[in-house]
Amino acid sequence: MTNPNLYGAVGSFDDGPELVEAARAVRELGYTKLDAFTPFPVHGIDEAMGIPRSKLGWIVLCAGFLGAASALSLIWWTGSVSYPLVIGGKPLFALEFSIPVTFELTVLLSAFAAVFGMFALNGLPRLYHPVFNYPKFAGATDDKFLLAIEASDPKFDAEQSVRLLTTLGAHSVEVVEG
């Protein structure tokens, strides 16, 4: 039986490629609940940890289509239905004159979707995370690369996880309380 107050085992690595290899090895052993903390994006860590591609692109694309459709609909409705005026022989609705407004509303809704979607998908703002209890966590913002095996993983055993991270080259491996 695992301790319900336990977050998991956290180990510190010296560089990104070492972290990616360790994450890949841990994943190949059947662990599924992993997390990595790095000072900058590390190429290949998502694949090594088995993280699927982000849904943020689809959210932004849908918001962009919504922005374009709503801009075109608004321009058509105001020019053709609500207030139809023929001035200088111009048509009630012309796509050429709608491009600037359509572009701006597409960009605006896409930007809002990107920001708010990123916050929602990342679970932000998060003012506390159990990994903050790891004594060397401050190094993750500077020059250390951390790999955490979470206690919620079905294969998690505190002693075995500490041993595994140590054999993979981690420094200062500790079991962290939640």
Per-10-residue mean pLDDT for the chain, 178 residues long? 82 95 96 95 95 96 98 95 89 92 98 98 92 91 94 94 96 92
User: Residue 154: phi, psi to the nearest 5?
Assistant: -60, -30
What is the pLDDT, as a whole number, of residue 2? 59
Architecture of domain 6-52+128-177: 2-Layer Sandwich (3.30)
What is the pLDDT, as a whole number, of residue 3? 74
What is the pLDDT, as a whole number, of residue 88? 86
Identify whether the C-beta of residue 97 lies closer than 8 Å to the C-beta of residue 91. Answer: no
Total residues found in the chain within this entry: 178
CATH 3.30.70 residue ranges for the chain: 6-52+128-177
Residue 70's contacts (CB-CB under 8 Å, 6 or more residues apart) are 105, 109
* 125 alpha-carbon distance from chain centroid: 13
Q: Got the DSSP string for 146-161?
A: EEEEETTSTT--HHHH
Residue type, 53: R
